[in-house]
Structure 1
Amino acid sequence: MLKLEHVNKIYTGHHALNDINVTFPEHQTTVIVGPSGSGKSTLLRSLNLLERPESGRYHFDNLTLDFKQSLSEKAILKIRQQTGMVFQDFNLFPHLSVQKNVTEAPIHVLKQSPAKANANAKDLLAQVGLADKADQFPASLSGGQQQRVAIARALAMKPKYMFFDEPTSALDPELEADVLRVLLKLAQAHDSMIVVTHNMEFARGVADQIIFLEDGKISYRGKPEAFFTEPTQRIHDFLSAMNFMAKP
């Protein structure tokens, strides 16, 4: 289980996360939505300790971190070994083939044998629809294909939770659909996922839990059905602005 209690993150003159209390259940998909600048990416990056909140507690299974205290490298490593992060930008190694992008960390971090890492990479690339691209280099791939390689690379580390920060925001609609189909398959397999997205149709179809974040505060946390069919006036206005009117 992953849980935050009374988490605060403050930038100069801006309370990015304001007393965040939330649980992210295992084997479920939590989708985080909200207007630009609401703190969505800050929240996700805090879960991977890429951002360090000033206060609050972070519970990951039997490990508890107090953000008021300095974090040990051992604790940081333990969190990051159990979480996979996929960003807006693909961040692939341009000098390595697709196959080697996927096998690099399992071999050097998890100490898998090359044979096992390559076999796993082959299966993962097939899972994301890129079995025929293993020997190509990132520059020869479309943006959607590169993002699917990034997903395979994250999955290769066998994380307990997968984090996705607007994984399709840089893609055109056709390429976006290819990536969203991969995420849908992961959700249907009951992988533990936390996804920041602007795509409301995807959010409605994939989420077990929706979080609406605004001004660093959670104003809705619950089932997608109520979020979309019985929205508050503020959420209704947000959905309208996103050209996604709530439907009965």
Structure 2
Amino acid sequence: MIRLEHVDKRFQQHHALKDVSLDFPENQTTVIIGPSGSGKSTLLRAINLLEHPETGHLKFDDLDVDFSKPLTNKVKFAVRRKSGMVFQNWNLFPHLTVLENITEGPRVVLHQSKAKSEQRAQELLKLVGLPDTGKRYPNQLSGGQQQRISICRALAMDPEYILLDEPTSALDPELETQVLRVLKDLAAQHQAMIVVTHNMDFARLVADRIVFFEDGEVLYDGAAKAFFAAPSGRIKQFLEAITLG
């Protein structure tokens, strides 16, 4: 399980995370929602140690990261070995084929053989509906296809958790649906995921838990069904503001 305890992060005059404490259970999908600039992406990046909060702890299985101390490369590697990050703009290596993009991490970091890493890559490509793209380069794929390859690359490292930061924000609706179908399938397989998104239909469909964030603080942390069933106050206002009709 991932646990954040009293995490605090500032960017000059902006207080991005305010004494945040949260648990992220295994085998569940947690969706983080809230208005833009509320601290959602900062929270996700702190879990993957791409941001370094000033205070607080990140506890991940037997790891205990004290943010008040310098982060060593050893600690960063240990955390990132357990958590795969998927960004908004996929970040594939343009000079590598799809197959090479997926197998690079397992071969270099996990020291897998070429045969084993390629077999796993082919299995993942089939999982996301792109079995015949292994020899292509990223610029030969659509945005939705590239994002699905990015998910394959994360899964190839066998992470305990996948962290997704607005994974469909750069895509048009048709391509967004392609990616969300993959995430829905992963959720059904109980792959632990923490997803930052503005897509409420997706959140309703796959989330076990909802964390509602605003101004660096957690306003709701609980079951998804309860969140959507009878919203009130600020949550109701937020949902009405992003829903037509």
Q: TM-score if structure 1 supplies the norm length?
A: 0.97
Please state whether the residue corresponding to 2:95 is helix, strand or coil: coil
Q: 1:244: how far off?
A: 6.0
Matching residue of 1:50: 50
Please state whether the residue corresponding to 1:180 is helix, strand or coil: helix
- For 1:89, give the aligned amino acid: N
Q: 1:233: how far off?
A: 1.8
Matching residue of 1:139: 139
- Rounded to whole Å, the distance in 1 between the matches of 2:47 and 2:215 is 18
Q: 1:16: how far off?
A: 0.1
Seq. identity, %: 58
Spell out, residue by residue over 1:150-201, the C-alpha distance to the aligned partner (whole angstroms, 9 max, x if none).
0001100111110000000000000000000000000000011000001001
Instruction: Extract structure 1 runs of 4+ deviating beyond 6 A.
Output: none
Spell out, residue by residue over 1:26-82, the C-alpha distance to the aligned partner (whole angstroms, 9 max, x if none).
000000000000000000000000000000011001111111111222111100111
Query: Unaligned stretches of 5+ in structure 2?
Result: none
Q: 1:132: how far off?
A: 1.1
Matching residue of 1:114: 114
- Rounded to whole Å, the distance in 1 between the matches of 2:26 and 2:2 is 8
Spell out, residue by residue over 1:104-148, the C-alpha distance to the aligned partner (whole angstroms, 9 max, x if none).
111111100000000000000000111011111110100000000
Alignment of 1:203-222 (within 5 A): 203-222=203-222
**Does the alignment pair 1:22 with 2:22?**
yes
Matching residue of 1:190: 190
Matching residue of 1:36: 36
Matching residue of 1:153: 153
Q: Is the 8 A contact 1:161 1:194 kept in 2?
A: yes
- For 2:126, give the aligned amino acid: A
- Rounded to whole Å, the distance in 2 between the matches of 1:84 and 1:95 is 21
- Rounded to whole Å, the distance in 1 between the matches of 2:147 and 2:111 is 25
Q: Is the 8 A contact 1:86 1:150 kept in 2?
A: yes
- Rounded to whole Å, the distance in 2 between the matches of 1:244 and 1:60 is 39
**Does the alignment pair 1:123 with 2:98?**
no
Please state whether the residue corresponding to 1:135 is helix, strand or coil: coil
Matching residue of 2:59: 59
Matching residue of 1:202: 202
- Rounded to whole Å, the distance in 1 between the matches of 2:101 and 2:66 is 34
- Rounded to whole Å, the distance in 2 between the matches of 1:69 and 1:153 is 31
Q: Is the 8 A contact 1:200 1:244 kept in 2?
A: no
Please state whether the residue corresponding to 2:132 is helix, strand or coil: helix
- For 2:162, give the aligned amino acid: M
Please state whether the residue corresponding to 1:106 is helix, strand or coil: helix
